[in-house]
Structure 1
Amino acid sequence: MSALVEPSPSAPTHRRTEAPVARAPDAAKSWSSLSVVEDIAALAEDWRALEDRALMTPYQAYGWVRPFAETVGAAERMAFRHAVLRDAGGAALAILPLVITRRSGIRFAEFIGGKHANYHMGIYDPAFAASLDAAGARLMLAEIGAAIGGLDAFIFVNQPTQWQGVPNPLAQLAGGPSPSGAYKLSLVPGDGEGSLRRSMSSHAHKKLKNKRNRFVTYGPSEIVRARTPAEIARVIDAFLRQKAARFAMMGIADPFAPPAVRRFLERGAQAEGDRPPVLELYSLDVAGQSVATYVGAVQAGRFSGMATSFAMDSE
């Protein structure tokens, strides 16, 4: 399991890849067919089957993308295009969940999630991803662009350079380092102190201990994970309230204010059948009051921090 705590060689880079409208470089084609599907529900079986073995981040999990599409996406009337590459037997080799956007009359394709998703990456069969070099990635984009039709460019930001040791195919294309690094840390069950020692200097560890000791003077404190509908509602209430106060102080628009964002958080934090929630919500409670929250996306034993909030009136 990994969390975002220490510098990682998988740090994302900002990518802007022009859609090849004339012809892509010659490349060996490692897929048999490609289609573009607008309705995510029609892809549920294929998506889940690929997900069980895929290289992917939590932000492209079916349980993350579908609630986002049906809440935030629906409210903002987003135009979704899910590109699916298949082998000769019809099995999905890759899915790229894309949204069509326009700026200054230019039509782009980007990964779904926007600023709510810290990683923008396709969902790949591991062997397929390993076989896809830069020329193959350009050919893939050329076919996707042709299948969607009318695109001027792809915009791919926050691309991990690699995932689980396998290079990210799209990160091989034109781009540069992100101004914000990504971080990871392997967690060892029952060894919280060891994880802290591996992730920070002794000075930082000492400061953290001092802060933890100060909590005793404020009253009983605990970290609570929201599991029931009532707990989920309480943590979301605190998260949105704390975010609203923070953005108001900064004098900028609150991206979490639209009601659709709350609906997305509520849906993502609830289990779907026998599948666990794709979002985990935590609250730091002091004397029974939430003074901070943490929202994370989870998939296949990995936890990725999405957002945090702090009560502005807390010390």
Structure 2
Amino acid sequence: MAAEPLSQGKPRAVGAARTMTIGTAGDLKIEVFDRMEPLEIEWRRLQGDSFTSLHQGYDWCAAWVRSHDHPLAILRGTIAGETCFILPLEIVTTRSVRIARYIAGPFNNINNGLFTPTFRARSSAQVARSVAQSIVRALSGHADLVWLQNMPFDWRGEHHPFAALPSVENQNHAFQLTLAADMETTIRQLNAKRRRKMYRNQCRKMEAHGGFEHIVAATDPEKAALIDLFFRQKAVRFETHGLPNVFRPDDVQAFFRNLLQVAPDGCDTPLQLHAIRLKGENEGKIAAIAGLSRKNDHVICQFGSIDEHLVPDTSPGELLFFLMIEKVIGEGAAIFDFGVGDQCYKRRWCTTETVQHDVLLPVSARGRIAAAGLQLVTRTKAAVKRHPALYAFIQRFRARADREPATEPGE
């Protein structure tokens, strides 16, 4: 029988077979939505929980959906009529395999899904297996594989509801700095003496060039100018270092511009642009840019760039991190997250390394083959990243492929 199409803004009928008993959690019903709007009220209620990643926030996902045309398969789980979780998924097709993944997955640093505290507290291995089976049944005919990537199984003192499911460790870990009441106390966790000395030296060198100011883009023209400059700076840096430019696609750039249009809610914002603007001999020029997102007390650095030709002896990127961290401490943040990827500057700043996992749920025979392939690729990437020379060679190869235009067969 052919699979029924996803509904236009309404949950696809799931029928009696979609409801099952999962121990003490009661009757679980899974519904699939192909639009975000019908779930907005429930979604925004669930996202307020500090356990939930800002990458599953409504505004973050909506910005991606507006710039991409991937089909959506948003799962809502209810027990006795009450929503207990939402998994915001989109379906992408790779080599004829339909993969359901978290919305905006390639640019998410941490994925938790949206779960009520009650559901998380009652979760168990049996509950997780039953939910996984329901998800597979709900997406039968619409996806070949469910790929729930970059999930920390231990986050903020809680275990993830899916921690008991079979998984593979993601090749990228995330790095965080725990923030104290002030900057001085915060850097005591690190090499405080070295941090203070570096900051004073950077400021002194900046003053020798005429000075600087730390700015936060506030108006639409300022935001547009800074994000355009970031894309240019990043393209130059990728080209210089022989790396593929993940920010080059138009739809990716549109995604970040969409995020900048979302009005902040107090200190919370999907994207805020910070920069170091120079004075004196380089009046008005931008030496470094960074994009921060915040939800509750959790701040994530989404990206950063520098102009390597301006004041190169001052390490403007490091200076901007110091200034941003000091600022968000004053605004009550508790975690400054440097995101995924193991880099030297992150280890210099961070006190916590968070291991993330990928859960793979095959829906079809094709999905089972793809899951085995993804597991192998993930483990291979992890092994390659443990050998810096090999990793650098592969990155240079990817960069060349990224720069070369695609050709049709026979050209």
Task: Give yes or no for TM over 0.5.
Answer: yes
User: Please, what is the CA RMSD of the aligned residues?
Assistant: 2.4
For 1:40, the equivalent position in structure 2 comes to: 36
Q: Secondary structure of 1:36's match? A: strand
2:152 pairs with 1:156: no
Alpha-carbon distance in 2 for matches of 1:102, 1:134:
30
Deviates more, 1:175-184 or 1:152-161: 175-184
Q: Which amino acid aligns with 2:163?
A: A
Q: Secondary structure of 1:171's match? A: coil
Q: Secondary structure of 1:255's match? A: coil
Report the TM-score when normalising by structure 2: 0.63
For 2:269, the equivalent position in structure 1 comes to: 277
Pairing partner for 2:105 from 107, 111, 114:
114
Q: Secondary structure of 1:180's match? A: coil
For 1:192, the equivalent position in structure 2 comes to: 183
Which residues of 2 match residues 1-315 of structure 1 at below 5 A?
Answer: 27-28=22-23, 30=25, 32-53=28-49, 55-71=51-67, 73-74=68-69, 78-88=70-80, 90-150=81-141, 151-188=143-180, 191-200=182-191, 202-272=193-263, 277-287=269-279, 288-314=284-310, 315=312
Alpha-carbon distance in 2 for matches of 1:216, 1:91:
59
Q: For residues 92 and 27 of structure 1, do their structure 2 counterparts lie closer, same or farther at Cα, with a shift above 3 Å needed? A: closer
How far is the alpha carbon of 1:172 from its aligned partner? Answer: 3.1
Q: Which amino acid aligns with 1:130?
A: A
How far is the alpha carbon of 1:200 from its aligned partner? Answer: 4.3
Alpha-carbon distance in 2 for matches of 1:201, 1:178:
32
Gaps of 5+ in 2: 1-20, 313-411
How far is the alpha carbon of 1:127 from its aligned partner? Answer: 2.0
Report the TM-score when normalising by structure 1: 0.81
Q: Which amino acid aligns with 1:103?
A: T
Q: For residues 145 and 256 of structure 1, do their structure 2 counterparts lie closer, same or farther at Cα, with a shift above 3 Å needed? A: same
Q: Which amino acid aligns with 2:256?
A: L
Alpha-carbon distance in 2 for matches of 1:103, 1:169:
28
Aligned length: 284
Q: For residues 269 and 277 of structure 1, do their structure 2 counterparts lie closer, same or farther at Cα, with a shift above 3 Å needed? A: farther
Alpha-carbon distance in 2 for matches of 1:266, 1:252:
23
How far is the alpha carbon of 1:173 from its aligned partner? Answer: 2.3
Alpha-carbon distance in 1 for matches of 2:198, 2:82:
52
In the alignment, is the contact (CA less than 8 A) between 2:47 and 2:56 conserved in 1?
A: no
Q: Which amino acid aligns with 1:283?
A: A
Q: For residues 133 and 200 of structure 1, do their structure 2 counterparts lie closer, same or farther at Cα, with a shift above 3 Å needed? A: farther
Deviation track 1:214-268 (CA, whole Å, cap 9, x = no partner) reads: 2222222122111210111121022111111112223444221223333322221
Alpha-carbon distance in 1 for matches of 2:64, 2:133:
27
Question: Taking CA–CA contacts closer than 8 Å with sequence separation of 6 or more, which of the two structures ends up with the larger relative contact order?
Answer: 1
> Which has more strand, going by share of residues?
1
How far is the alpha carbon of 1:54 from its aligned partner? Answer: 6.1
Gaps of 5+ in 1: 1-25
Q: Which amino acid aligns with 1:40?
A: M
Q: Which amino acid aligns with 1:146?
A: R
How far is the alpha carbon of 1:128 from its aligned partner? Answer: 0.8
Please say which structure displays the higher CA radius of gyration: 2
> Which has more helix, going by share of residues?
2
How far is the alpha carbon of 1:201 from its aligned partner? Answer: 5.4
Alpha-carbon distance in 1 for matches of 2:212, 2:264:
33
Q: Which amino acid aligns with 1:145?
A: V
